[in-house]
Structure 1
Amino acid sequence: MKRLENAFVTLNGWALILMLSAMALIVGANISLRYLTGHSLPWADEAARYLMIWLTFISAGLILRTGGHVAITNLQDALAETGQKLLRAGIVLILLTFFGFMVYVGWQYAQRMQYQVTPALRLPFIYVYAAMPVGFALLIVHLLLIARPFIQAGEYKPLHAFGVEDDTLPGGANG
């Protein structure tokens, strides 16, 4: 199971690297062409925008794994250990419900947009809007993979699981 989880996280990370690289190359080429030739790629801004949308949704699960999303822990800190575990279990259930709902809503919306095409790329909008259900589905998988340590001890996956050493960041992994 651990190997499968590591492969999943690695693939998710590589997908982000490829999308960010493609976005940087497209924007860089467009800027270079604009200043060198006076002409730009008509589809570059649109492609970069859609890559940014996909990056946002696909990266949310990896950020969730490390506790990188905004959290207010005043209530949790005020509770006894059993209360903290119950609160964290409730949070996991609420998040799973919300993420599942967003997969459903995102898929419905993407299907409604399948016959419209983007102005410059002429790409069906379903490919753009599919970022939402795919991203939330990945959030469900990531949440399920970290749920037990989070509920039991409020722990997230350390950054060194992604090839980053804790001491490279100020304050360590959670700091």
Structure 2
Amino acid sequence: MPPENDPGLPAGPPPADEPTRVPLKIEDWLTVLIMAALALITFANVLVRYFTDSSFAWTEEFSVFLMILLAMVAGSAAVARDRHIRIEYFSEAGSMARRKRLAQFGALMVALLFFLIAALSVRVVWDDFRFEETSPGIGVPQWWYSVWLPIVCTAIGLRAVGLFVRRGRAGTP
């Protein structure tokens, strides 16, 4: 069945992004850069394995880190665009005021969760730094990887606060 006749796909072009104070292009470009780095690392490893029967030791560890970072950056974009997972039966039912309150409640809960994760992960980073933990694969300082967790969680929390504010404006469901 051609894509335009697929009943599961919405008709027409995708909806435009809502205007935000911090441009959504940040997450979009980070996603592109991370995906490009993953593709290059994987391609280089495949070439090295094919021609030398050995592999770069660092590629798996770095690829896992980049995939986690990619998921977090994509999560930030999903929150900012209000495309996070929800049960639409509940979120789309009822009056406009009810939908607005539910949207704000959801954004507030996302913000609280990610600010909590950010605060707790600062301790993880500090422990990695203080105890000089090293990564298991290549032995670089573990905090090089873990420092990104509180940073990206804070970004997601701030995106959720922005969504909360946008949903609080009159006429926005």
Same fold (TM over 0.5): yes
Aligned counterpart for 1:42 among listed residues 48, 57, 74: 57
More helix by share: 1
> What is the count of residue pairs matched by the alignment?
151
Q: Which sections of structure 2, spanning at least 5 residues, go unmatched? A: 1-18
Q: How does 1:47-62 map to 2 (within 5 A)?
A: 47-62=62-77
Superposition deviation, residue 116 in structure 1: 0.6
Aligned counterpart for 2:91 among listed residues 67, 76, 83: 76
Superposition deviation, residue 4 in structure 1: 5.3
Aligned counterpart for 1:5 among listed residues 14, 22, 26: 22
CA distance in 2, matches of 1:117, 1:14: 30
CA distance in 2, matches of 1:125, 1:79: 48
Give TM-score, length-normalised by structure 2: 0.76
Aligned counterpart for 2:172 among listed residues 121, 133, 153: 153
Q: Which sections of structure 1, spanning at least 5 residues, go unmatched? A: 155-175
Q: Which amino acid aligns with 1:83?
A: R
Moved more, 38-47 or 76-85: 76-85
| Residues 1:108 and 2:108 aligned together | no
Q: Which amino acid aligns with 1:118?
A: S
Q: Which amino acid aligns with 2:56?
A: L
Deviations 1:17-63 (A, max 9, x none): 22221111111111111011112111111111111111111221112
Q: Percent identity?
A: 19
| Residues 1:25 and 2:40 aligned together | yes
- The match for 1:169 is none
- The match for 1:159 is none
- The match for 1:126 is 143
Deviations 1:80-120 (A, max 9, x none): 22222222222222222112111111212222222211133
CA distance in 2, matches of 1:77, 1:57: 26
Give TM-score, length-normalised by structure 1: 0.75
Runs of 4+ in structure 1 off by over 4 angstroms are: none
Could you say what secondary structure the match of 1:78 adopts? Answer: coil
